[in-house]
Structure 1
Amino acid sequence: MGWKIIETNQLTPKDIDRQGNKLLTGNGYIGYRGTLEEFNKEQKTATIVSGLYDQVGNQWREPVNLPNGCFVQVLYKGEVLHALTSKVLEHTQSLDMQNAIHERETVFETTDGIRIAVHARRFASLARRHLICMEYSVSADRECEVDIETGIDGDVWDLNGPHLRNICAMEKDGLTSICAVTHENGIRVAVSEAITFTNARQFSGEERSADDFKILRKLNQVNIQNGFTFYKFISHCVGLESNNPLEDSRGMCQQAAELGFDGLFAEHAKFWSERWADCDIQIEGDFSAQQALRFSMYHLLSIVPMHTSAASIPARGMSGQMYKGAVFWDTEIFMLPFFTHVFPSMARNLLLYRYHTLDGARRKAKEYGYRGAFYAWESQDTGEDACTLFNVTDVFTNRPMRTYFRDKQVHISADIAYAFWKYYTSTGDVSIWRDGGAEVIFECARFFLSYTYFNPDKHRYEILDVTGPDEYHERVHNNAFTNRLVAHTFEVCLLVAACLQESFTEKYSELMNVLGFEPDLALISEMAQKLYRPDSDSPAAVIPQFDGYLRLENISIKTLLERKLHPHEYLGGGNGLAATTQIIKQADVILALYLFGEKYSSETKSINWEYYESRTEHGSSLSACSYSLVAAQIGKADWAYKYFMKTATIDLDGEGKEYVGTLYIGGTHPAGNGGAWMSAVFGLCGIHVSDEGISVNPRLPAHWTQVKLSMLFRGQRLRFTLNHTSVAIEMVNRAETSLPVSINRQNYVLPQTGALMISIN
Structure 2
Amino acid sequence: MNQDYIIADAWSIIEEGFDKERVKSSESLFSIGNGAMGQRANFEENYSGPTFQGSYIGGVYYPDKTRVGWWKNGYPEYFAKVINAPSWIGIQVFINDEELDLNSCTAVDNYKRELNMKEGWHRRSFEATMPNKMKVAVRATRFLSMALDEVGAIKYEVTPLSGDAKVKFIPYLDSGITNEDTNWDDKFWNTTEVLSEGSQAFIKAHTMKTHFDTCTFMECSLEYDGNKVDQKPEERTEEKWVGHTYTQETAQGKTTVLYKFGGYTVSRNHKPGELVDAAKSVLRQATTAGFEAMLKQQAEAWASIWEMSDITIEGDVKAQQGIRFNIFHLNQTYTGKDSRLNIGPKGFTGEKYGGSTYWDTEAYGLPFYMSTKDQLVARKLLKYRYNHLEKAIENAKKLGFNNGAALYPMVTMNGEECHNEWEITFEEIHRNGAIAYAIYNYYRYTGDYSYIPEMGLEVLIGIARFWHQRASFSEHKQKYVILGVTGPNEYENNVNNNWYTNYIAKWCINYTLEQLQKVKDGYSEDYERITGKTKLSPTETEKWKKVADQMYFPYSEEKGIYLQQDGFLDKELITVADLDKKQRPINQKWSWDRILRSPYIKQADVLQGFYFFEDHFTEEELEKHFDFYEPFTVHESSLSPCVHSIQAAKLDRMEQAYAFYLRTSRLDLDDYNKEVEEGLHITSMAGTWMSIVEGFGGMRIRNDKLSFNPRIPKQWKSYSFKINFRDRILKVHISKERTVLTLDAKEEMSLRLNGQKVVLQPGTATEV
SS in 1 for 2:752: strand
Amino acid aligned to 1:26: G
Moved more, 170-179 or 455-464: 455-464
How far does the alpha carbon of each residue in 1:79-102 deviate from its partner, in whole angstroms, 9 at most, with x for none?
Answer: 221222213122111101011111
| Aligned twin of 1:754 | 764
Q: Which runs of 5+ in 1 are unaligned?
A: 390-402, 660-664
How far does the alpha carbon of each residue in 1:498-534 deviate from its partner, in whole angstroms, 9 at most, with x for none?
Answer: 3433453322211110111233333334433332344
Q: 1:91 aligns with which of 92, 98, 111?
A: 111
SS in 1 for 2:721: strand
| Aligned twin of 1:45 | 53
Does the CA contact (< 8 Å) of 1:189 and 1:246 recur in 2? Answer: no
Alignment of 1:470-509 (within 5 A): 470-509=489-528
Report the Cα offset of residue 413 of structure 1: 0.6
CA distance in 1, matches of 2:550, 2:563: 19
How far does the alpha carbon of each residue in 1:697-726 deviate from its partner, in whole angstroms, 9 at most, with x for none?
Answer: 122101211112110222221111111222
CA distance in 1, matches of 2:371, 2:392: 27
| Aligned twin of 2:411 | 378
* Higher relative contact order, structure no. (Cα contacts within 8 Å, ≥ 6 residues apart): 2
CA distance in 2, matches of 1:204, 1:726: 63
SS in 2 for 1:69: coil
User: Does 2:164 correspond to 1:154?
Assistant: no
| Aligned twin of 1:399 | none
Amino acid aligned to 1:666: E
Does the CA contact (< 8 Å) of 1:48 and 1:64 recur in 2? Answer: yes
Report the Cα offset of residue 434 of structure 1: 3.8
| Aligned twin of 1:596 | 613
| Aligned twin of 1:170 | 195
| Aligned twin of 2:245 | 218
Moved more, 430-439 or 506-515: 430-439
How far does the alpha carbon of each residue in 1:374-433 deviate from its partner, in whole angstroms, 9 at most, with x for none?
Answer: 0111111x21111113xxxxxxxxxxxxx4100001101101111111111100112222
| Aligned twin of 1:271 | 301
CA distance in 2, matches of 1:438, 1:17: 45
| Aligned twin of 2:6 | none
Report the Cα offset of residue 224 of structure 1: 5.3
Alignment of 1:200-219 (within 5 A): 206-219=233-246
| Aligned twin of 1:724 | 736
| Aligned twin of 2:384 | 353
SS in 2 for 1:65: coil
CA distance in 1, matches of 2:85, 2:533: 41
Report the Cα offset of residue 263 of structure 1: 2.2
Cα gap change, 1:566 to 1:516, in 2 (>3 Å): closer
Alignment of 1:310-325 (within 5 A): 310-325=340-355
| Aligned twin of 1:295 | 325
Task: Give the alignment's TM-score, normalised by structure 1.
Answer: 0.91
User: Does 2:694 correspond to 1:682?
Assistant: yes
Q: 2:214 aligns with which of 184, 189, 200?
A: 189
How far does the alpha carbon of each residue in 1:273-317 deviate from its partner, in whole angstroms, 9 at most, with x for none?
Answer: 111111111111111111110111001000015232122101111
SS in 2 for 1:198: strand
CA distance in 2, matches of 1:438, 1:245: 39
Cα gap change, 1:567 to 1:628, in 2 (>3 Å): closer
SS in 2 for 1:579: helix
How far does the alpha carbon of each residue in 1:15-61 deviate from its partner, in whole angstroms, 9 at most, with x for none?
Answer: 12211211111111101112221246952222111111113566743
CA distance in 2, matches of 1:272, 1:254: 23
User: Does 2:653 correspond to 1:653?
Assistant: no
Does the CA contact (< 8 Å) of 1:342 and 1:712 recur in 2? Answer: yes
Amino acid aligned to 2:604: A
Cα gap change, 1:528 to 1:716, in 2 (>3 Å): farther
CA distance in 1, matches of 2:109, 2:584: 42
Does the CA contact (< 8 Å) of 1:204 and 1:222 recur in 2? Answer: no
User: Does 2:39 correspond to 1:32?
Assistant: yes
User: Does 2:272 correspond to 1:241?
Assistant: no
SS in 1 for 2:549: helix
Alignment of 1:356-755 (within 5 A): 356-371=387-402, 372-380=405-413, 382-389=414-421, 403-519=422-538, 520-534=540-554, 541-557=560-576, 571=590, 573=592, 576-658=593-675, 666-735=678-747, 738-739=749-750, 741-751=751-761, 754-755=764-765
Does the CA contact (< 8 Å) of 1:202 and 1:222 recur in 2? Answer: no
Amino acid aligned to 1:379: T
Does the CA contact (< 8 Å) of 1:148 and 1:218 recur in 2? Answer: yes
Cα gap change, 1:564 to 1:276, in 2 (>3 Å): closer
How far does the alpha carbon of each residue in 1:568-601 deviate from its partner, in whole angstroms, 9 at most, with x for none?
Answer: 657575xx21222211222111221111112222
Cα gap change, 1:295 to 1:614, in 2 (>3 Å): same
User: Does 2:311 correspond to 1:285?
Assistant: no
Does the CA contact (< 8 Å) of 1:188 and 1:239 recur in 2? Answer: yes
CA distance in 2, matches of 1:204, 1:359: 56
CA distance in 2, matches of 1:288, 1:556: 30
Report the Cα offset of residue 538 of structure 1: 6.5
| Aligned twin of 1:133 | 153
CA distance in 1, matches of 2:622, 2:92: 57
Q: Which runs of 5+ in 2 are unaligned?
A: 1-8, 68-78
Does the CA contact (< 8 Å) of 1:305 and 1:312 recur in 2? Answer: no
SS in 1 for 2:118: coil
CA distance in 2, matches of 1:204, 1:694: 62
Cα gap change, 1:367 to 1:733, in 2 (>3 Å): same
CA distance in 1, matches of 2:301, 2:553: 47
Amino acid aligned to 1:373: A
Cα gap change, 1:39 to 1:558, in 2 (>3 Å): farther
Moved more, 120-129 or 239-248: 239-248
Does the CA contact (< 8 Å) of 1:540 and 1:603 recur in 2? Answer: no
Does the CA contact (< 8 Å) of 1:324 and 1:386 recur in 2? Answer: no
Does the CA contact (< 8 Å) of 1:18 and 1:651 recur in 2? Answer: no
Amino acid aligned to 2:296: A
Amino acid aligned to 2:718: Q
Does the CA contact (< 8 Å) of 2:471 and 2:483 recur in 1? Answer: yes
CA distance in 2, matches of 1:94, 1:538: 56
Moved more, 682-691 or 624-633: 682-691
Amino acid aligned to 1:721: H
Cα gap change, 1:115 to 1:173, in 2 (>3 Å): closer
Report the Cα offset of residue 564 of structure 1: 6.4
CA distance in 1, matches of 2:510, 2:729: 29
Percent identity (aligned): 26
Does the CA contact (< 8 Å) of 1:94 and 1:103 recur in 2? Answer: yes
Report the Cα offset of residue 621 of structure 1: 0.5
Moved more, 352-361 or 167-176: 167-176
Q: 1:109 aligns with which of 129, 137, 158?
A: 129
Amino acid aligned to 1:79: E
| Aligned twin of 1:227 | 255
CA distance in 2, matches of 1:598, 1:224: 71
Cα gap change, 1:753 to 1:70, in 2 (>3 Å): closer
| Aligned twin of 1:400 | none
Task: Give the alignment's TM-score, normalised by structure 2.
Answer: 0.90
How far does the alpha carbon of each residue in 1:113-135 deviate from its partner, in whole angstroms, 9 at most, with x for none?
Answer: 44211111111111111111111
SS in 2 for 1:614: helix
C-alpha RMSD over aligned residues: 2.5
Report the Cα offset of residue 748 of structure 1: 3.4
Report the Cα offset of residue 562 of structure 1: 8.0
